[in-house]
């Protein structure tokens, strides 16, 4: 027998599936190579990591990265491994880069 308080409860709605979000893309410019768009994996005040589609970003390389509608930022490639790369911004993010600051988790 079902307890009266349990029988009176309405059925629970099914949980919705998590929403899939498109990755944020940045334009990466590396001297002598055509600009490319790469996916941002993580952002901090001092840099970011990218999921890269090629092996062109080598540690020690200087690049320029920009978000759509944002101003370009200079960065140094610190590491690159298994289609990921870590960039250190040449200067930390400031309030003048709200599009980048919004990506910090």
CB-based burial label for 74 (10 Å; 0-12, 13-18, 19+): middle
Residues 28, 18: Cα–Cα separation, whole Å: 30
pLDDT at 104 over 80: yes
Quick: pLDDT tens for 56-97.
Answer: 899 999 999 999 988 899 999 999 999 999 999 999 999 999
User: What domains does the chain contain, in order, with CATH numbers?
Assistant: 25-101 (2.40.10.220)
CB 101 within 8 A of CB 73: no
Look over the chain and give the mean of its residue pLDDT values, rounded to a whole number.
Answer: 85
Residues 80, 53: Cα–Cα separation, whole Å: 12
Average pLDDT for 92-105: 91
32 confidence band (pLDDT: 50, 70, 90): confident
pTM over 0.85: no
Residues 63, 35: Cα–Cα separation, whole Å: 10
Confidence at residue 55, expressed as pLDDT on a 0 to 100 scale: 81
11 confidence band (pLDDT: 50, 70, 90): low
């Amino acid at each position: 027998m079902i307890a009266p308080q349990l029988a009176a409860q309405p059925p629970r709605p099914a949980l919705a599936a998590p929403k899939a979000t498109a990755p944020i893309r940045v334009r990466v410019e590396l001297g002598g190579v055509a600009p490319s768009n790469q996916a941002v994996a993580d952002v901090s005040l001092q840099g970011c990591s990218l999921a890269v589609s090629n092996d062109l970003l080598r540690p020690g390389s200087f690049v320029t990265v920009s978000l759509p509608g944002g101003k370009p930022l200079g960065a140094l490639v610190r590491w690159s491994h298994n289609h990921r790369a870590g960039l250190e911004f040449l200067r930390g993010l400031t309030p003048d880069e709200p599009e980048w600051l919004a990506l910090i988790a």
